[in-house]
Amino acid sequence: MKNNRICILQISKTDSHDRLSEFNAVNRAKESQFFDEILLSAPDLQESRSIKKYSKMWEVPLYLGNVDDIAKRFFRILRKYKNASVVRPSIHWFYFDIKLVKKMVLELEKFNADIIFLPKNFDQRFAAEVFSLNFLKKISKIFKNQKIKNKFQFKPWAYAEFFPSKFKTVSFFDLPVYSNAYHNKILNLMKKAWPERRDFSHAPVYSYISASKFIWNWDRLPLSL
């Protein structure tokens, strides 16, 4: 059965900026012609109506959904599909490596996996979150446990990183090697476009800082439903 390939880009009012019209991941995704659908996802808040201009500008649909539960928001968007491979780059990653993402999606589909992981020492800014509709189904069931949901609802794929045995995962190692010149070029562009968004080291710490937010007293976290 064919997997629909969907690119979902989260966006909020705080992302609204003149620079976003030029430095965004939507244009990259559209130019690839790899996806069956590209769409924007935002929390269903009154303030989110202000970002409709981006939906119109990029000619991609905007879906408003659950404010806190990202998995639920995505699942409602994709419920019309029986199968789907989902790619979620940051809206600001205008340089994400579409060739790498394509390989990740093909690997996900080859093994009929729920989610695919890259090595921690790879610069995650060149890739994207890649997972299946089935991952969203599984995580939605897990989130019936309110304590787990409260901790991971803003970053549901982080739960899979901490508890991979609950999913069918694939580790991906067919990684590109970027030259120092290319890496520096991208970092300089990022400094120009989004200086407030990321660190600019060759070994970015942002992903680890994000993950650290989920590290707490695990004795208090029920791991089964």
Position 112 in a domain = yes
Position 56 in a domain = yes
CB 131 within 8 A of CB 71: no
Its domain, for residue 32, covers: 4-220
C-alpha radius of gyration, the chain, whole number = 17
CATH number for the domain harbouring residue 12: 3.90.550.10
Position 153 in a domain = yes
CB 150 within 8 A of CB 156: no
Q: State the first-to-last Cα distance of the chain, in angstroms, to the nearest integer.
A: 30
Q: What is the pLDDT of residues 147-182, one digit of tens each?
A: 999 999 999 999 999 999 999 999 999 999 999 999
Query: Token digits for 106?
Result: 């093909």
Instruction: Return the biggest CA–CA distance within the chain.
Output: 49
> With 60 as the cut, is the pLDDT of residue 67 above it?
yes
Total Cβ atoms within 10 A of residue 76 = 15
214: CB partners within 8 A, 6+ apart = 151, 152, 155, 158, 162
Q: How many domains does the chain have?
A: 1
Position 225 in a domain = no
Averaged pLDDT for residues 30-58: 95
pTM recorded for the entire structure: 0.86
pLDDT tier, 200 (very low <50, low <70, confident <90, very high otherwise): low
Q: What is the mean pLDDT of the chain?
A: 88
Q: What is the pLDDT of residues 85-113, one digit of tens each?
A: 999 999 999 999 999 999 999 999 999 99
> With 70 as the cut, is the pLDDT of residue 1 above it?
no
Position 174 in a domain = yes
